[in-house]
């Protein structure tokens, strides 16, 4: 679940609107400077005015309407700002504004405020607003300093010029307009403007508009097992430039939040026999949208080439002549095992690792290479094995592994609500309970599971039953 916002970020039009500013000292002067940039009608209530506020009143940039605050003064205002050093007066202003349904900011008092003013990086008309909801003002100042240093002052000039060309590009490019502007900003056009060469920028834009429409493309991107910080840089870049995303059921909301906000979102997830779209239809949808000129993000949990059917999808794209890119992701086996504190290989316990799908056949049977899976000195990772977990454990025991062999189920691996259930093969199905109650899960079988007690580092939700130590027979661990 994504973290809730304490405030909704918004830019508010104030030009010509009434704004009430209660206070006339230095605190009020700082707010007055910001408010004047938005060109409202500023009404000041204060017994005394410092030189800056008095000068603004004298110039007509603000109107002093009273010396003492009255609740009726907030009526008809678009915003109210309480900027005095009197806590009781500030509280009275906030209460009056709240009753009148007018947004109010009490300087340095988020509890009384219905809105707060962010730190601003000013490249007008480009404005960057930064806020921590009052939680970390020093961090906000640091971020502002970094952005001030990284963004050229001339960025405002670029934004102004782009505004003058919007209608031209819209008429000439239609649905390609957004891509034209992206190419302009990524190419020489923006650099020409930053250096003051408006004519050169016009030539660069004209060249882009004269080019034929670029074909669509598909980005097959592995999103990893759930933690957004496990995404690759390339994955994030493509997620930010797509026109549409087709995403699986196992994509966490936190990762989906990182996709371009104005991209169309299409859920095509498959989960325990609940298919939103059959695979063949997903393949055809990728082809259809790419042929229509869209940049299509196919976002898949884990790695698209590990039980993700990514190979089938790019086979269809290749046959249709559709350009595509593949971005590997951290597969569930490595991600979930690492976050569970279970190494997949270990010099003393596992010299090999086997990935296998535990999804039963249509008739409910499991046709796996049991003799291979029950060899010692290896780790077996079973994808999609929760539904058939009792049968899986029983078959592994029947084909030679002892009932005391260590095994684990990792549920919601790498996420904040990760849960790890460690038991023996004989006890694991009972410990896990009904699969319908579990989130996306992975089964890990092998002696490496016994290392979790010492190697667990991720603060998920532990639920552990330590397996009995392996029996030693003729000097070999059984």
One DSSP character per residue, 251-317 reads --HHHHTTS-TTSEEEE--EETTEESS-HHHHHHHHHHHHHTT-EEEEEESB-TTSSS-HHHHHHHH
For the stretch 267-276, pLDDT in tens is: 998 655 555 6
Q: Which two tokens stand for residue 72?
A: 């009726």
d(CA 421, CA 22) in angstroms, rounded, equals: 59
At 277, is the pLDDT very low, low, confident or very high (cuts 50, 70, 90)? confident
d(CA 416, CA 38) in angstroms, rounded, equals: 42
Please determine, for residue 290, whether its predicted confidence score (pLDDT) is greater than 80. yes
Q: Are 400 and 445 in contact (CB under 8 A)?
A: no
What DSSP designation does 346 have? B
What DSSP designation does 370 have? H
Please determine, for residue 465, whether its predicted confidence score (pLDDT) is greater than 80. no
Q: Are 17 and 26 in contact (CB under 8 A)?
A: no
400-433 in b/e form (b: 16+ CB < 10 A) is ebbebbbbbbbbbbbbeebbbbbbbbbbbbebbe
pTM of structure: 0.73
For the stretch 149-203, pLDDT in tens is: 998 889 999 999 999 999 999 999 988 888 899 889 988 999 999 999 999 999 9
User: What dihedral do alpha carbons 470, 471, 477, 478 form, nearest 10°?
Assistant: -90
At 349, is the pLDDT very low, low, confident or very high (cuts 50, 70, 90)? very high
Residues acting as catalytic residues: 248, 270
Residue 104: cis peptide before it, omega within 30 degrees of 0? no
Map residue 100 onto helix, strand or coil. Answer: helix
Q: Are 159 and 123 in contact (CB under 8 A)?
A: yes
Q: Are 216 and 292 in contact (CB under 8 A)?
A: yes
Please determine, for residue 452, whether its predicted confidence score (pLDDT) is greater than 50. yes
With CA atoms as reference, report the closest residue to 393 among 417, 414, 412, 373: 373
Rounded mean pLDDT of 354-370? 86
At 6, is the pLDDT very low, low, confident or very high (cuts 50, 70, 90)? confident
pLDDT at residue number 362:
74
Q: How many CA atoms lie within 13 A of 330 on its CB side?
A: 18
d(CA 425, CA 446) in angstroms, rounded, equals: 10
In 51-118, the DSSP E strands lie at 63-66, 79-82, 104-106
pLDDT at residue number 18:
97
């Amino acid at each position: 679940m994504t973290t809730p916002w304490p405030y909704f970020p918004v830019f508010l039009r104030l030009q010509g609107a009434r704004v009430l500013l209660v206070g006339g000292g230095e605190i009020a002067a700082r707010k007055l400077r910001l408010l004047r940039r938005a060109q409202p009608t500023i009404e000041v209530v204060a017994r005394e005015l410092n030189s800056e506020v008095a000068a603004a009143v004298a110039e007509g940039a603000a109107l002093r309407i009273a010396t003492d605050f009255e609740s009726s003064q907030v009526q008809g205002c678009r915003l109210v700002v309480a900027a005095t050093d009197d806590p009781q007066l500030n509280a009275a202003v906030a209460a009056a504004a709240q009753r009148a349904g007018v947004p109010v900011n009490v300087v340095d008092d988020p509890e009384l405020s219905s809105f707060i003013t962010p730190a601003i990086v000013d490249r007008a008309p480009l404005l960057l607003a930064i806020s921590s909801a009052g939680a970390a003002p020093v961090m906000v100042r640091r971020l502002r300093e970094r952005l001030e240093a990284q963004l050229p002052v001339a960025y405002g000039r670029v934004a102004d010029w782009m505004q003058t060309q919007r209608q031209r590009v819209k008429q000439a490019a239609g649905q390609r307009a957004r891509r034209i502007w992206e190419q302009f900003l990524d190419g020489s056009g923006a650099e020409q403007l930053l250096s003051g060469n408006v004519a050169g920028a016009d030539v660069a834009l004209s060249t882009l508009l004269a080019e034929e429409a670029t074909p669509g493309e598909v980005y097959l991107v592995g999103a990893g097992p759930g933690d957004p910080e496990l995404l690759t840089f390339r994955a994030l870049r493509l997620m930010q430039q797509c026109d549409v995303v087709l995403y699986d059921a196992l994509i966490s909301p936190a990762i989906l939040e990182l996709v371009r906000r104005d991209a169309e979102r299409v859920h095509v997830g498959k989960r325990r026999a609940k298919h939103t779209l059959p695979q063949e239809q997903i393949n055809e949808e990728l082809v259809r949208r790419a042929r229509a000129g869209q940049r299509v993000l196919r976002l898949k949990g884990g790695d698209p080439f590990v039980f993700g059917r990514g190979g089938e999808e790019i086979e269809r794209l290749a046959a249709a002549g559709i350009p595509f890119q593949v971005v590997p992701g951290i597969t569930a086996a490595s991600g979930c095992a690492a976050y569970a504190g279970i190494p997949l290989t270990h010099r003393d316990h596992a010299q090999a690792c086997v990935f296998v799908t535990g999804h039963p056949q249509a008739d409910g049977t499991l046709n796996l290479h049991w003799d291979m899976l029950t060899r010692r000195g290896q780790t077996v990772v079973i994808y999609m094995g929760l539904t058939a977990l009792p049968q899986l454990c029983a078959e592994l025991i029947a084909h030679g592994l002892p009932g005391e062999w260590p095994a684990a189920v990792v549920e919601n691996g790498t996420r904040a609500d990760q849960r790890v259930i460690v038991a023996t093969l004989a006890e694991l199905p009972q410990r896990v309970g009904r699969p319908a109650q579990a989130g996306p899960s992975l089964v890990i079988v092998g002696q490496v599971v016994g290392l979790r007690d010492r190697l667990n580092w991720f603060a998920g939700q532990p639920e552990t039953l330590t397996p009995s130590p392996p029996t030693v027979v003729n000097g070999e661990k059984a």
